Amino acid sequence: MWYKDGNILEQDARLVFKSSTLLEIRGVSRHDQGMYQCFALGTNRESQSAAQLLLGGNTETRVYNNM
């Protein structure tokens, strides 16, 4: 089961659960920034993993022509 910022994620066209432990985010945007957690249950086992998605600012390129 996948969570973002403590809320359960539902699979849709952008959030694709490739397996019980692999999440693909298509067309990443600033809205996707946050803490992601995965909880996997197996026979007599439970596993948890977390990752934080940080997105930086856009960089702007300027070209100056001094002729």
- Tens digit of each residue's pLDDT (9 = 90 or more) over 4-40: 999 999 999 999 999 878 899 999 988 999 999 999 8
pLDDT at 67 over 70: no
pLDDT at 60 over 90: no
The total domain count for the chain is 1
* Position 65 in a domain: no
Place 43 in a pLDDT band, splitting at 50, 70 and 90: confident
pTM: 0.74
* Position 62 in a domain: no
What pLDDT is stored for residue 36 in this prediction?
A: 94
* Position 64 in a domain: no
* Position 36 in a domain: yes
What pLDDT is stored for residue 21 in this prediction?
A: 81
* Position 15 in a domain: yes
Cα 30 to Cα 62: distance, rounded to the nearest angstrom: 23
Q: How far is the CA of 22 from the CAs of 10, 15, 54, 55, 58, in angstroms?
A: 14, 10, 18, 20, 27
* Position 58 in a domain: no
